[in-house]
Structure 1
Amino acid sequence: MTNAEPTHILLVEDNPADARLITEYVSESSWGDADAPAPAITHVERLEAAREAVADDVDVVLLDLGLPDSTGVETLDEMVQAVTTEPIVVLTGLEDERVGEEAIERGAQDYLVKDDITPRLLQQTVQYAISREQQQQQLRQRNAELALLTQVVRHDIRNDVGVIMGWGETLGDHVDAQGEAHLERMLNAGEHIASITETVGDFLDVLGDGGDPDLSPVDLESVLTNEIDKARSAYEDTTITITGDVDDALHVTATELLSSVFRNLLNNAVAHNDKPEPEITVHVESNDETIAVRIADNGPGIPDSYKQEIFGRGEMGLESSGSGIGLYLVDTLVEMFDGEVVLEDNEPEGSVFTVVLPRSRKPTETDHEAV
């Protein structure tokens, strides 16, 4: 839409009096700039007609939720599916903030209570809705471009690190004792880079999901033991012990990204440990409602004043001076799984990260057949 083009409003309203009033408001001489053309308005009374009309270069949709062929929030859901980039402003006769808030949560840009509409308020709401939608489109485009760039960069980094690690390992038999120390540092740095790219990838998956996660039963024992095996392989000087209720009957409500939670907590327990031989104990406790995984280390511990900040919670976000994106990702994922993560002191020294997740029943053969 250029400055020379009128704003095209699609009004979906079956009440003749309300439709006439809104049409009059739109035709007010005070609408828009003096040099701008008056808005064009297309009026339909049914959802079916609105679906067809929205394809005709519409800039914004004013949508009543109570129509002859659709009622309630289902009307909005259907309209959200029908539009492409056109913002929707919901019209409601209910003086109830919850109706408008729910409409915005389900895809509307804004809402108006009919009894409160004035020409000025209608004009501002329409203009702001169009402007916000345009800004969001630009942001989505930038995010898509950044996601593609990040994917390419991660792919290239992983490939190059793989080459470095492969050639580095072949040098083990060709260097002296002093060279072995340097080689070990190089290989550790390579492992660290690989771990960072994996964590960044997991975090981008979370950010790019764009909605509520599809939670399902996840085999905790399989995920946990797999991550412990990988940590033992990566950190040969570290002792990792697992105790408690660990068996294949334990399932929690989560997604496949649960592995990233334990991978980052285990890596953090080693990376920030000041002992020559770090010791980590993983203890599992379960009850009818939840399963708690307690990861304790013998490191230097974390001051009380730092225990919340280390997750990057609140307004700190990714700019937190905590341990980095790994713990922020842990906190984000556990919250997504409707669980919680708690940081406490270990005795006599070190820290304990406890992840509490909702327990889920083990999926049966009938479940798989139903899917």
Structure 2
Amino acid sequence: MTETDLTSVLLVEDNPSDARLIEEYMTEQPWSDTDTDGPVIERSDRIEEAVTASFDEIDIILLDLGLPDSTGLDTLDEMVAVCDGTPVVVLTGLDDERVGAEAVEHGAQDYLVKDDLSPRLLRQTLRYAIERERRQQELQQRNTELALLNQVVRHDIRNDVTVILSWGDTLTAHVDDDGSEYLDRMLNAGKHITNITETVGDFLDVLEGNSDPELRPIDLEGVLINEVEKARSAHDDVTIALTVNHKGRLQVAATELLSSVFRNLLNNAVTHNDKPEPEITVHVEVLAETVTVDVADNGPGVLDGQKDEIFGRGEMGLESSGSGIGLYLVDTLVDMYDGTVVLTDNDPEGSVFTVQLQRYRN
């Protein structure tokens, strides 16, 4: 960003003294070696007037939260709703970090306490705010393009894998016993690829959605029955048992993506099982405030030092030595649901993933 990028400012301030001081600070020193006048300042003293400005001609907005026709965060919300991406810096008379944090949460790029203002601080804050807004818009555009690319690629992969699986099923009657093992492996690999595309789609839904989603009642038993049946259909050589120690409706606080939690846990239990006859048990224990779901397998288990890493936890995130995006998604979703997921050893062998969720209460 160059220093001449800031050419116009919308100052929304009803106090003449404060407005005059800010205007003086803006012009007290040159903004660059070749600029002696500083940015053009357009002033409004009402939010009603400010929201009608031509924002495509304004580089940044300095907004007082206490105006005659609007006060507090409502003022900021009204401005952010119409300013079309123009960065907003809030002016406040309160030396309260909470006010600033709330302003940023509502869409402001920064905030300034009037009593702390100086020419240098003012110029620095405005320039940084413009640069942050520019970077955010570039990142948002890049994410939009990547999401579209991801959608197209996943669609093409699923279509091609569907064709491969169809051809493989046709070959089943024409392959001898020696070749059937390899055909089964090929078909299972194709199904695994399909599961991966679904998991990636679910993960994108999480990233693009609200980081603090509205939890609502989800039928846990219905989700488990559906996912267990799908796993049985995809892996007919695996024994999967489901037990629920509860009669009647069983609702937990979650979102529709709860199904992805158990789909990925079941896929993980199958994919990493080295037994000739894999066995998985899903047991549901209902308590007064919570529901616990154990997904246990008879596979090789996980070393103690890797039990936390397997979810992609820690600084390395998805680059950890865990089982990939599936378990990372499980951990992310369960945390969003105010729940927990832990990995322990099964007896006598294998692993147990224990998911605890909150029961939904009206």
TM-score (norm 2): 0.95
Report the residue type matching 1:106 in the other structure: H
Report the residue type matching 1:325 in the other structure: I
Corresponding residue for residue 257 of structure 2: 257
Corresponding residue for residue 286 of structure 2: 286
Corresponding residue for residue 233 of structure 1: 233
Displacement, 1:51? 0.5
Q: Map 1:79-158; keep pairs closer than 5 Å.
A: 79-158=79-158
Q: Map 1:135-214; keep pairs closer than 5 Å.
A: 135-214=135-214
Instruction: Say if 1:234 and 1:361 are closer, same or farther in 2 by CA, change over 3 A.
Output: same
Give the secondary structure class of the aligned counterpart of 1:203.
helix
Please list the CA deviations of residues 302-343 of structure 1 after superposition, one character each: whole Å capped at 9, or x if unmatched: 122111111111322111111100000001111111211112
Give the secondary structure class of the aligned counterpart of 1:52.
coil
Q: In the alignment, is the contact (CA less than 8 A) between 1:89 and 1:110 conserved in 2?
A: yes
Say what the alpha-carbon RMSD is for the aligned residues.
1.8
Displacement, 1:133? 0.6
Instruction: Say if 1:140 and 1:178 are closer, same or farther in 2 by CA, change over 3 A.
Output: same
Corresponding residue for residue 338 of structure 1: 338
Displacement, 1:219? 0.8
Report the residue type matching 2:97 in the other structure: E
Instruction: State how far apart, in whole Å, the 2-side matches of 1:60 and 1:5 are.
Output: 11
Stretch deviating more after TM superposition (313-322 or 188-197) = 313-322
Give the secondary structure class of the aligned counterpart of 1:35.
coil
Please list the CA deviations of residues 14-46 of structure 1 after superposition, one character each: whole Å capped at 9, or x if unmatched: 22211111111111224x211246111111111
Displacement, 1:55? 3.0
Instruction: State how far apart, in whole Å, the 2-side matches of 1:248 and 1:226 are.
Output: 17
Q: Map 1:259-338; keep pairs closer than 5 Å.
A: 259-338=259-338
Give the secondary structure class of the aligned counterpart of 1:275.
coil
Q: In the alignment, is the contact (CA less than 8 A) between 2:3 and 2:32 conserved in 1?
A: no
Please list the CA deviations of residues 274-306 of structure 1 after superposition, one character each: whole Å capped at 9, or x if unmatched: 211111111111223211111111222212211
Please list the CA deviations of residues 177-219 of structure 1 after superposition, one character each: whole Å capped at 9, or x if unmatched: 1221221111111111111111111111111115432321111
Give the secondary structure class of the aligned counterpart of 1:43.
strand
Instruction: State how far apart, in whole Å, the 1-side matches of 2:247 and 2:238 are.
Output: 24
Instruction: State how far apart, in whole Å, the 2-side matches of 1:6 and 1:72 are.
Output: 27
Instruction: Say if 1:247 and 1:156 are closer, same or farther in 2 by CA, change over 3 A.
Output: farther
Report the residue type matching 2:335 in the other structure: E
Corresponding residue for residue 35 of structure 1: 34
Instruction: State how far apart, in whole Å, the 1-side matches of 2:314 and 2:88 are.
Output: 31
Displacement, 1:248? 5.2
How many pairs were matched up?
361
Instruction: State how far apart, in whole Å, the 1-side matches of 2:189 and 2:248 are.
Output: 35
Instruction: State how far apart, in whole Å, the 2-side matches of 1:168 and 1:303 are.
Output: 36
Instruction: State how far apart, in whole Å, the 2-side matches of 1:15 and 1:277 are.
Output: 78
Stretch deviating more after TM superposition (256-265 or 68-77) = 68-77
Report the residue type matching 2:242 in the other structure: I
| Unmatched segments (≥5 aa) in structure 2 | none
Report the residue type matching 1:340 in the other structure: T
Report the residue type matching 1:25 in the other structure: Y
| Unmatched segments (≥5 aa) in structure 1 | 363-371
Q: In the alignment, is the contact (CA less than 8 A) between 1:284 and 1:291 conserved in 2?
A: yes
Q: In the alignment, is the contact (CA less than 8 A) between 1:343 and 1:352 conserved in 2?
A: yes
Displacement, 1:130? 0.4
Q: In the alignment, is the contact (CA less than 8 A) between 2:65 and 2:76 conserved in 1?
A: yes
Corresponding residue for residue 365 of structure 1: none
